[in-house]
A and B are shown apart, each in its own frame.
Chain A
């Protein structure tokens, strides 16, 4: 079983003191430990944003790519070696803004990855602009008069895109988030875990206190995670009561189960390619 020390890197995190990402990092590490995953069999794919730096500080294989493009990298990696545990850590700008197309498509293809989105409703790394999940009216340097668009609802979007595990956590409740990440990794299929992650520097609205006052756990109210209609209803709740926990969960075959290229079940990364016989292809041109 890996220890917390095994999962530490030489580098020290440079998030702002009190950043919500610390809670996510702690929960992610604890989930890896609790699931007894070998760190060398875990790959974390990230995009660009404050939160994406997480893989600098979790000692597994990591790939930090482009803004919004962490999921395609995760897809290529997972379909090339499905024995790896592939975790994608994205942000609300990354995943619900520039990369929203990849989110929808990988949900519908039920790619077998865990998709954790650090949702702080702001753009931290570019100094505080609003994000696709910012509430209407929120002000930032790009919207001095306040946002006039409706926010993306990632839970509803995931549900309508046929994601097979749809959950939301709060980085202020690390124990609860740890369990969600564990369940997300254990789930065979596309698992969205949207995480409320307060940005202590730029978002003065959606603070720790804001969420502490409002969040309640779906499991505490007997929510039926197999009921997609109820899940959709719960996902619409915002205001004085905001649900966290698992909204919806269903078992379906994952993408790699049905791809003809993988029908022998062997990861492509482990196939011997030293001398492939192409005589049949060549004779097809004669």
Chain B
């Protein structure tokens, strides 16, 4: 019987190419018409340790991994020891005993096929290229599942197109060798995957999606300092800098990064920096500067467990308070919270428009699981997207203004802006409190007016902020209230709850500041039994909801062990 979904785990020491293997296999299945979700769990080191990548291949889209494993590729003994209990009855473990060295101490699990293949020897002797070892192991999987090997070969020749015919030939040979081996065991592993028609979906991570949005939105300046799990934004933008004419600067630190964005924003260039909590802390003063001088910038915080270094390569969503309250004084910034790659794209694009429309720093905040997790999503629709530069004056318009005031007091707090280089628009932007001209001015009445001006922009921006979303059946017995990637686990938990005859749905909060208090309050009043699902100790979103609406949600499922939220975790921790 053909299966409709499979769950893979590829594990081994850091530096053994797990990520690349996973990409190859995933891309092959995505091109073959499947939805693949992939997440990697790694230690913060370059060599050794035990890293593993999970792939979930399904006919339907999912945004969370499964804890059960159908196929394991083990590149070391530790992977087998630590994960064999997760392999299902009828599952298979593919390994090279020359490398893994299972001895008498190893007890096989009943119903699990142990497939020992000397892929290291095959790669060096039969193919003549040691690095094709991983391709052999992957193509065994294709043989086992009855999937054909053509798709993998296409992916290989695309990836290695710049490396020459010899490299492609070696990899194709490796693919054939592995495939034949897998094919022989296909009958023992009687859960082949049906071959489907490709549907043009993309396989990408949340950070990638955000980058596509940035490029589409016309971002031309990146000032960033590497920090896991945000660095792929810097790498991605650097990779495309040439093609799209983007200045990508790896700065000396995050303080330089945020201040360089402000310089770019001041002269009229859309600019972005991504970071994680520690780097965001260093950017805090600069975010306040952008707020005070009314400069558009976009800062992304990809959350990882803190405080301090914390768990650098793991996931958590505990920076909600940090991003809202970053900086002294009343918070003047917009904080948006995507929960999947489509939202990273939509809200990433929106972030640039809002930054310029409201002349304000915009923070996009999501967790590592989304930032570095790979999802299968339909190709982004870009036709309807409109770049909104906000109130930027032209020299012609400036010529008609005899007394230009950069910080003119207006109804909505937004003042038409001029850019350096424009005749007639000369002004000073000043981090001190200033008057309408931008001159330092300490008068009490002026201070009150200027504080009000900046806060008015926040009020005006609320209508443009992503609204909370009710996902699933409207009439549910329980509602998971959540934000960021936890949404995926919650949606899956709704499915599991069906087995318990409980109707569940998800209420996703997508803006943190300003907060849609009216919509959230109204929705919560109609919810029978809300349950907070968050990846932090204090239920930070729950706290924010209470602060903004007065509503207390007492039931909670919280995970803060650095591991991603799963549907199973939610269901296991529910008191139902």
Interface residues of A (CB under 8 A from B): 9-11, 38-41, 43, 45, 48, 53, 55-56, 59-66, 69, 71-81, 83-84, 101-102, 105, 259-264, 266, 268-269, 271, 273-276, 278, 280-283, 285-286
Contact = CB atoms under 8 A, between A and B. Distances in A.
B221 A76 contact: yes
A101 B253 contact: yes
23 contacts: A40-B422, A40-B425, A56-B430, A59-B426, A64-B429, A65-B289, A65-B293, A69-B256, A72-B256, A76-B223, A77-B420, A80-B263, A80-B264, A80-B268, A81-B268, A84-B267, A101-B252, A261-B246, A263-B245, A268-B221, A269-B419, A282-B212, A282-B380
A79 B218 contact: no
B259 A80 contact: no
Most B CB atoms within 10 A — which of A76, A105, A282? A76
Nearest to A40: B423
Interface string B272-313: 000000000000011001000100000000000000000000
Contacts of A274: 218, 387
Nearest to B245: A261
Closest 8 CB pairs of A and B: A76-B263, A273-B218, A72-B259, A76-B260, A285-B202, A62-B428, A77-B263, A80-B269
B332 interface: no
Most chain-A Cβ atoms within 10 A of its Cβ — which of B252, B260, B382? B260
Of the candidates A64, A72, A269, A274, the one having the most CB atoms from chain B within 10 angstroms of its own CB is A72
B426 A60 contact: yes
A261 B220 contact: yes
B437 interface: yes
Nearest to A98: B255
Most buried by B among A55, A280, A281: A281
Interface of B: 30-31, 200-204, 208, 211-212, 215-218, 220-221, 223, 240-249, 251-253, 255-271, 285-286, 289, 293, 379-380, 382, 387, 419-432, 437, 439-440
Contacts of A9: 428, 439
Contacts, number: 208
A282 B342 CA distance: 12
Contact of B420 (A84, A101, A273, A280): A84
B279 to A, nearest CB: 14
A125 to B, nearest CB: 11
A90 to B, nearest CB: 13
A276 to B, nearest CB: 6
A282 B243 CA distance: 14
B426 to A, nearest CB: 5
A281 B420 CA distance: 32
Contact of B427 (A61, A264, A276): A61
B220 A263 contact: no
B253 A269 contact: no
A77 B266 contact: yes
Given A101-B252, A262-B245, A276-B244, 7 more contacts: A40-B421, A61-B426, A64-B432, A71-B256, A79-B221, A80-B221, A281-B215
A81 B218 CA distance: 15
B239 to A, nearest CB: 9
Contacts of A81: 267-269, 420-421
Nearest to B256: A72
Contact of A38 (B382, B387, B423): B423
B545 to A, nearest CB: 34
Contacts of B428: 9, 55-56, 61-64
